[in-house]
Structure 1
Amino acid sequence: MSADRSVSRRRTSGAAFAGFGRTVSEKERALWREAMSRRAQEAFSRGQAALQGGNISLGLFWLERAERMSRTNPNLKWAVGLACLSAGRLADCLLRMRELRETYALREAAFLEVLCLVRLERLDEAGCRMQDALSRFHATPETHPIADQIAAAGGRLGWMTASNNGTLLIRAARPVRLLLDGQEVATGLKDGVHVLSEGWRLARQLEVRSGRRHVLGSPLDIAALTRCESFVEADIDGLTGWIWTPAEPEHVPQVTLWDGSHLRAEAFAQDVDSDIPLARNRIFHVPAALLPPGDPGPLELRDANGHLLTGAPVDPLTGRLVTGQTGGLAARFQPVAVRSGMPRASGLRASPGCAVVIPVYAACSTTMACLRTVLVTCPADVPVIVVDDASPEPALASALDRFAEEGRILLIRHDRNRGFPISANDGIRAAEGRDILLLNSDTLVPAGWVERLRARLIQSDTGTVTPFSNDATIMSYPSVDRSNPVPSLREMRAMDRLCRDVCGDGAGTGGDRIELPTAHGFCMAISADCLLEVGLFREDIFAQGYGEENDFCLRASAKGFRHLAAPELFVAHVGSASFGGARKALGARNLQILNALHPGYNQLVKCFIKADPLHETRRRLDAAALLRLAAGRPAVLMVQHDAGGGVGRVVRERSAAFEAAGELALALRPHATGCLLEHVSEEKRFPNLKFSLPRELPGLLDLLRSLRVRVVEWHHLIGHAPAIRTLHEALDIPCDIFIHDHIWFCPRISLCDGEGRYCGEPDQAGCEKCVSRWGGYLGEDISISGLLARSAHELSSARALMAPTDDTVRRITRHFPGLTIQTIPLEDDAELQADIRAARPGLSGQPLRVCVVGGISQWKGYDVLLDLAREIRAHRLPIELSLVGHTHDDDALIALGVRVTGEYRENEVQDLIRQQKPDVGLIPSIAPETWCYALGQVWRSGLEAVCFDLGAQGERVRKSGAGLAIPLGIPAFQLAAILMRKWGSSR
């Protein structure tokens, strides 16, 4: 039950495990990602080939393998969903289509979701989903029959669909009326195609009805149907970009240029990096010869709805800027070196007052939630300035009008969408020289946020201030390197109280002055002095946004202003989907511009991230949050390795029992410089409790004492710093040990040599010879005699010893006589075996299907599996092998005809076993395991198991009689003969 790592035929060492003094390098991560991508692509290609050959079952097997290897790839999810539909696995197809529709608003997924529901005879749901799909997407001819069926089944008048070319298809049982935003524009319309009136795109809703009865798909959301995804940038040859209409990808969109001329985007792009599956971006190009001469400034390009393309207005000269051809460029493009300015003299400043500026565009409910928190928390003397950047949502515009009429906000409204930088500047100008609190409209603010930000602006050299948030890059909390969940209003307030209690009230009460490379624009306090001296955000090159606040801050830094963190304040950031599929492209483009304007910017940020000056603050916050969670309960600290597997599962299960008993379950994992303390059931909630050892050992001990840890429970010490071995002594508390493997006397852990043979547990000299030749996994320089002596001392000093099986107890006590070890089985074997089918001959003429489960390393039986596959291939035996899991060399097995599913999640394993339709399970481990969760999975699936007669696997099979324990070392042909004799065909 040790860490399941692949063992190659070479000398190995503790470097195989990440931990103290050893971390996984970026190069290693890149190589792993490359290998996984290659394997996923190979599996995808095999799956496609099988489907094209008419073998749906095999094709689906390979596609699902690819999907598990690349779980975030929506294109794979789409391909697997289609294959599931072909295979009749409608529920699996429905699940994938629903996820694609919800995540990406994917038209094809929306209509296939309807099809699945119809075939599953869930017609009420199908009707609801069809109504939603027709009201948002153009329906292709392939979907018309199912629309007919659903309309008839639901007793509807009929159905409708509209196209971006201005036509409307109606299928109705009697004449209907057409209304745009409630105004009748046509009546007596019958079945057929109708041309919509000029200007229909300007309306919000299109209705097709008779009396009050709507046809299916009415009312139509015109904004959803006509929405364009787009992007434009300048290069040395002119302007290039892409555009498409997700609700009707076959529509050829049109780009309106700055002079009113039009450009059709007909050709499909081949290399656009898009997160949206089935994206059909169409490219366009405006040659440099067609651009206005000289320095025309930013040029506007718009879609058919009059909306600016993402990235527009675009200045053609930025193409020269980012390619380094800056000779002769205007002064506004001259680079400003990072940190070129002299520090300013610091002193107290008198604030000219403060104003909140909030640019808004869409997302009515999110924006209104933000405004409600702002309006109840702003002091009376702080005006709230809202800039409506031509919102396309009438409900939002009306709500803003009401607030303005009530005098609660100062409203500025654009007649057309102009982007975040211009909107922010308009709000700042309206503030008339005050300090500015610039706020995104997708934030939630707590009480006292204005006062705490202003307290940070009291120093004359402070230019900007940024608080903590769940989504704010370098100012994110709790995790800075992965996504945090979006907090609710209640959770935001609790998080803010934590920040305020731990970090004080800011600079005015002696808070730390932690300097940032730049502010983050989601919530950014800017001093009036800084604005006066530096100017506003650049409106000419950053288009809708991304990078404008960084550019402002770097210009401010050049003048000596500082950018401070406000860790005493937490502002929730919902995070928007602005810019849709162009988000990455716009961010990449603007980052290029930013680095060209400010050479050294990337390095500045990298240095900040490496130094991580906010780590100690985040750790104090995590510690305080963990203490609040503990609420005075006693705690158990479980020490484990960082490899997951069976050890991780045991720790999770024991932690659940401790928590149920009213105790706090903590775990200690190793990392490169020391250890990470976490709450077992919420391990992602406290990512900053990292301690460098031995330097920060006193701080770790203080925290553990505050948490009232009553016992340290060892599960695995591999990868840990030496100080962890004596942690319980430093805390003056007992230590219990749960024995998971044979690391106590075997530096190779598995009792196998480097050639994959069980060692037989030789004497000390034999162990020394084995380790000298093949290396060990301890990651420390210790002899066999030293290891035995240390283990004897630690085991005998423990308050309690536990092991999963009697076999494990016997092996440990043979090396360390006199120990009392309690046997604690990790699963209820009787319960696992409740549904086992008795051995019976397979069907005549059908091959015997043998299923292996788990991550199969060499000591888990990889060579056994490989030899068996060779034997089957060489003699054309009627046996099919499948592996629900993975190995270090799947390709060799696959080449011999073994079906290898790839890695799985715990909740997937039973479905994967059932999909193989197996007759018997095989546990090929050639080392004595201390437990075997794979055996439990085999039994749970209703199969008997074959294993070698050693270790936990042999003990459990022999005791239960639910399978067969065979002698270790029998050749592959004998293993095949045993399998066929007991479980094979009766022919």
Structure 2
Amino acid sequence: MKKNASPSIAVILPIYRDTTMTLACIESALPAILTLPNAKLIAINDASPDEDMQQALENIAKKYPQIIHLLVNEQNLGFVATVNRGMRYFADHDVVLLNSDVLLPDADWLTRLYQDAYDSDDIASVTPLSNNTTICTFPDFLQDNPIPFGLSVTEIDAAFKTPRYPCVEAPTGVGFCMYIRRKALSEVGYFDEETFGRGYGEENDFCQRAIQAGYRNLISPNIYAYHLGGVSFADEKDALIERACQVIDKRYPNYHSDVQNFIAKDPLRTARIYRLVQLIATTDLPKILHISHGTGGGVEQQLEELADVLGNHAISLTLVPEGDNGLVKLSLSIRQTADSLYFNFAEDYDNLLMVLNFLGIGLLHFHHTVRFGEQIFSLPNDLNIPHLFTIHDFYLLGGNPTLSDETGVYPGYFDEALQNPMYPYPKGVSRESFRQQHRRIVETAEIVLFPSAATKEIFSDIYRLNKTQIVVHPEIHRNISAPIMPIAKKARYTIGIFGAVSREKGADLVEAMAIYAAKQHLPLDFVIIGYAYRPLKQVKTTGPFVRQELTNLARQQGINIAFFPARWPETYSYTLSYAMDLGLPIMAPNLGAFPERLVNRPLTLLFNHLDNAETLTKALYEFICDFATTDTTPVMPISRQDDHFYTTDYLTYVKSPKVLSKVKLLPAQFINVDKKPAVRMNSNEKLVVNLWKIYSHPSMRWVNKIIPFRVRRGLKRLLSRQAIHDLVNKYDNTK
């Protein structure tokens, strides 16, 4: 090919289903094809069952008779044979495999694709980035991504045009939109239609053959295309993939290990981060940075569901501490799978400010400050943007998030003299200096949000609050006004406790109640949908779960009543939301958010959280006996009105950002993408996990009697302040 001349290119489009999507694909691809003098589109109707498909294809082919070549298979040949027919049609052309469920950006996508393909003479294939293409995905690696921010494909691709980044070598291309040079195709051969006739695996096989012939397969970070995925093979996809994997494994024994090594190294991470930073910076949507502790729980759930509520009306990012070594992690979305940038908070603080300014952050939303350095209190002023604060627990009152005493129980009132040795102040920090630091961001916030009135009442005596509002967390994924199922008369009743049940959340109380019920031969079975901080006698636990599984787990266990044994004034309780969504009768403490959320709810019993196990077990059984019935008619609760703060007022607090008028690269020294910490555990963390595994074994329950809980917990906190489930996950990820 002469310098500056474009190669001859045939874009091959096998077609089977979905006329509307197919036409949209063609219309998105054509502008780029029309700009190149030697480019053609070969559209092949593989005996489509859609009655309007052929006529629609003929109509668009008539508009571009010199460009579109319409072929028809009289009988269905399958994807691979159809592709091979297209490859042979222009025997000297490079080819682009294009699935009919792909949307391309504006008029130069094909130019950029062939330019990457001709960077060197040993390139066989080039694949662009997309939303749903395994190792080529953007923005979140290996995920099925929605289109970012509700933008068009062309708007997203604008951030991919400049600067041009080096392509990355990969074990395979992905056939949704894959450029193949004719030189490699002639030497390696066409797709193996005899083996992969229906589709899936054919491009992996070709790419492996190309590697064996000395060629390379590249992924380009310079183009973005949208891939719907699965239109052609929707009904048989899983079976095709399984069969293809077996064939690939047999032919290329190292293939899957090569793919796993590619995933582990993730060589596209740098380019993905730069493209996403550019995209965010050039988008005029409101941009919010959520500052949190990064240890999961209700805070993480509220952030994710708030992002769902805002949808494509705002961009949400997070800043959390990363371990105890001074690193902070800036995640480029709320999703746990998001790419992140890492900064040493003290040393890189100015760089972090530059990145946040470059992104155009318009609002800081504080959720927690634990484990952050002192710079966190200067962030609103240094960025000169508004900030909000949502109170999720009682940490800001003195470092104790639960207000519990050393026994794990809230005494029923807030007492300045209350001390819990499990929550010491940092070295050199007093109660007043701790609060004085937090006054800088709490008392200057545009508004302080409380998920319950009970929480606000306690805080109002400690902080001078400028503006406050009671705002319940968004509940878009659960129906908290679901009909309540009556307690059906039966021989035994299953009492469900939801979540990770710590001492403060009532694990010891549940055990005591279960033991008492067993001794009294009461027909009560206690099941924790989740796990407790230690093994509990007479209590079944289902083990750790992801929250999307909670509802099904509760149904599988046949829960009759949801019991909430909390020993501290919870500020909201998402597990309560799940119980309400399940329509379960509920027994909960008359404490914290529970009485507010359960007011006037039928089949609900509130109790004094300081009552002992015997009293509560009797009350629970009496509650069951009073309401057990053979009538299965659901009881309708009072409808709970959604709080509209987040859909009406929230975004008014965001300062309009200065949006970059064109794509501009942030200097690399200000985004240290190589600072991503490896998953490592120090000796203390490993010791904690190993002790926990030993202690959790049923044969080790005698430890409860020998070593007091406060000693065990004190040792754990001395070794690590991270939650045990986070340490276990971290341990598993280091294997």
Query: What's the TM-score, normalizing by structure 1?
Result: 0.50
Alignment of 1:604-643 (within 5 A): 604-631=258-285, 636-642=288-294
CA deviation vs aligned residue, 1:153-172 (integer Å, no higher than 9, x gap): xxxxxxxxxxxxxxxxxxxx
The corresponding residue for 2:516 is: 871
8 Å CA contact retained: 2:291, 2:365: yes
Q: Please state how far the C-alpha of 1:753 moved relative to its aligned partner.
A: 7.4
C-alpha distance in 2 between matches for 1:723 and 1:668: 13
Is structure 2 residue 9 aligned with structure 1 residue 354?
yes
Is structure 2 residue 39 aligned with structure 1 residue 382?
yes
C-alpha distance in 2 between matches for 1:556 and 1:972: 70
The corresponding residue for 1:456 is: 116
In structure 1, what residue type is equivalent to 2:39? V
The corresponding residue for 1:438 is: 97
C-alpha distance in 2 between matches for 1:658 and 1:574: 23
> Which residue of 539, 564, 583 maps to 2:218?
564
**Does the C-alpha gap of structure 1 residues 423 and 721 become closer, same or farther in structure 2, counting only changes over 3 Å?**
farther
8 Å CA contact retained: 1:537, 1:549: yes
Is structure 2 residue 343 aligned with structure 1 residue 693?
yes
Alignment of 1:923-942 (within 5 A): 923-932=564-573
Alignment of 1:339-350 (within 5 A): none
Of residues 609-618 and 538-547 in structure 1, the stretch that sits farther from structure 2 once superposed is 538-547
Q: Please state how far the C-alpha of 1:588 moved relative to its aligned partner.
A: 3.4
Q: Please state how far the C-alpha of 1:439 moved relative to its aligned partner.
A: 1.6
8 Å CA contact retained: 2:590, 2:607: yes
Q: Give the alignment's Cα RMSD to 1 decimal.
A: 5.6
> Which residue of 479, 492, 503 maps to 2:160?
503
**Does the C-alpha gap of structure 1 residues 530 and 762 become closer, same or farther in structure 2, counting only changes over 3 Å?**
same
Where does structure 2 lack aligned partners over 5 or more consecutive residues? Answer: 474-479, 629-735
CA deviation vs aligned residue, 1:581-636 (integer Å, no higher than 9, x gap): 653343233334334433432233223222323223323333344345544x5x55
C-alpha distance in 1 between matches for 2:358 and 2:258: 38
The corresponding residue for 1:475 is: 136
Q: Please state how far the C-alpha of 1:434 moved relative to its aligned partner.
A: 1.6
Q: Please state how far the C-alpha of 1:865 moved relative to its aligned partner.
A: 3.4
C-alpha distance in 2 between matches for 1:940 and 1:575: 33
**Does the C-alpha gap of structure 1 residues 474 and 904 become closer, same or farther in structure 2, counting only changes over 3 Å?**
closer
C-alpha distance in 2 between matches for 1:398 and 1:955: 62
C-alpha distance in 1 between matches for 2:54 and 2:518: 71
**Does the C-alpha gap of structure 1 residues 798 and 747 become closer, same or farther in structure 2, counting only changes over 3 Å?**
closer
C-alpha distance in 2 between matches for 1:435 and 1:927: 68
Q: Please state how far the C-alpha of 1:577 moved relative to its aligned partner.
A: 5.1
8 Å CA contact retained: 1:383, 1:409: yes
Percentage of pairs with the same residue: 26
1:888 is paired with a residue of what secondary structure?
A: strand
C-alpha distance in 2 between matches for 1:469 and 1:348: 29
Q: Please state how far the C-alpha of 1:534 moved relative to its aligned partner.
A: 3.1
1:537 is paired with a residue of what secondary structure?
A: coil
2:395 is paired with a residue of what secondary structure?
A: coil
Is structure 2 residue 479 aligned with structure 1 residue 825?
no
**Does the C-alpha gap of structure 1 residues 548 and 411 become closer, same or farther in structure 2, counting only changes over 3 Å?**
same
In structure 2, what residue type is equivalent to 1:863? D
2:195 is paired with a residue of what secondary structure?
A: coil
1:571 is paired with a residue of what secondary structure?
A: strand
C-alpha distance in 1 between matches for 2:247 and 2:209: 14
2:39 is paired with a residue of what secondary structure?
A: coil
C-alpha distance in 2 between matches for 1:702 and 1:861: 45
8 Å CA contact retained: 1:623, 1:689: no
Q: Please state how far the C-alpha of 1:433 moved relative to its aligned partner.
A: 0.8
Query: What's the TM-score, normalizing by structure 2?
Result: 0.64
Alignment of 1:661-700 (within 5 A): 667-669=318-320, 674-677=328-331, 683=334, 688-694=338-344, 700=352
8 Å CA contact retained: 2:566, 2:609: no
Is structure 2 residue 30 aligned with structure 1 residue 370?
no
C-alpha distance in 1 between matches for 2:584 and 2:84: 69
In structure 1, what residue type is equivalent to 2:139? P
**Does the C-alpha gap of structure 1 residues 693 and 925 become closer, same or farther in structure 2, counting only changes over 3 Å?**
same
Q: Please state how far the C-alpha of 1:547 moved relative to its aligned partner.
A: 2.6
The corresponding residue for 2:531 is: 888
Alignment of 1:916-955 (within 5 A): 923-932=564-573
In structure 1, what residue type is equivalent to 2:8? G
**Does the C-alpha gap of structure 1 residues 906 and 971 become closer, same or farther in structure 2, counting only changes over 3 Å?**
same
C-alpha distance in 2 between matches for 1:474 and 1:845: 54
C-alpha distance in 1 between matches for 2:572 and 2:48: 61
Alignment of 1:90-105 (within 5 A): none
8 Å CA contact retained: 2:133, 2:142: no
**Does the C-alpha gap of structure 1 residues 353 and 933 become closer, same or farther in structure 2, counting only changes over 3 Å?**
closer
Alignment of 1:319-338 (within 5 A): none
C-alpha distance in 1 between matches for 2:14 and 2:24: 14
The corresponding residue for 1:420 is: 79
8 Å CA contact retained: 1:467, 1:565: yes
The corresponding residue for 2:181 is: 527
> Which residue of 338, 346, 365 maps to 1:713?
365
Q: Please state how far the C-alpha of 1:866 moved relative to its aligned partner.
A: 3.8
8 Å CA contact retained: 1:516, 1:563: yes
Q: Please state how far the C-alpha of 1:533 moved relative to its aligned partner.
A: 3.4
Q: Please state how far the C-alpha of 1:860 moved relative to its aligned partner.
A: 1.9
**Does the C-alpha gap of structure 1 residues 948 and 539 become closer, same or farther in structure 2, counting only changes over 3 Å?**
closer
Q: Please state how far the C-alpha of 1:529 moved relative to its aligned partner.
A: 2.5
Q: Please state how far the C-alpha of 1:460 moved relative to its aligned partner.
A: 4.0
C-alpha distance in 1 between matches for 2:487 and 2:40: 81
8 Å CA contact retained: 2:98, 2:178: yes
The corresponding residue for 1:447 is: 106
Is structure 2 residue 211 aligned with structure 1 residue 542?
no
Q: Please state how far the C-alpha of 1:431 moved relative to its aligned partner.
A: 1.0
> Which residue of 615, 635, 639 maps to 1:974?
615
C-alpha distance in 1 between matches for 2:187 and 2:82: 20
CA deviation vs aligned residue, 1:818-845 (integer Å, no higher than 9, x gap): 76587643459xxxxx99xxxxxx9999
**Does the C-alpha gap of structure 1 residues 824 and 853 become closer, same or farther in structure 2, counting only changes over 3 Å?**
farther
Q: Please state how far the C-alpha of 1:648 moved relative to its aligned partner.
A: 4.7
8 Å CA contact retained: 2:565, 2:609: no
**Does the C-alpha gap of structure 1 residues 555 and 727 become closer, same or farther in structure 2, counting only changes over 3 Å?**
farther
The corresponding residue for 1:76 is: none
C-alpha distance in 2 between matches for 1:609 and 1:846: 53
User: What is the aligned length?
Assistant: 600
C-alpha distance in 1 between matches for 2:584 and 2:592: 20
2:505 is paired with a residue of what secondary structure?
A: coil
The corresponding residue for 2:680 is: none
2:10 is paired with a residue of what secondary structure?
A: strand
In structure 1, what residue type is equivalent to 2:84? N
Where does structure 1 lack aligned partners over 5 or more consecutive residues? Answer: 1-345, 777-781, 829-833, 836-841
2:12 is paired with a residue of what secondary structure?
A: strand
8 Å CA contact retained: 2:126, 2:179: yes
Is structure 2 residue 438 aligned with structure 1 residue 795?
yes
**Does the C-alpha gap of structure 1 residues 473 and 785 become closer, same or farther in structure 2, counting only changes over 3 Å?**
same
8 Å CA contact retained: 1:347, 1:460: no
8 Å CA contact retained: 1:668, 1:677: yes
8 Å CA contact retained: 1:882, 1:899: no
The corresponding residue for 1:739 is: 391
8 Å CA contact retained: 1:347, 1:459: no
Alignment of 1:197-236 (within 5 A): none
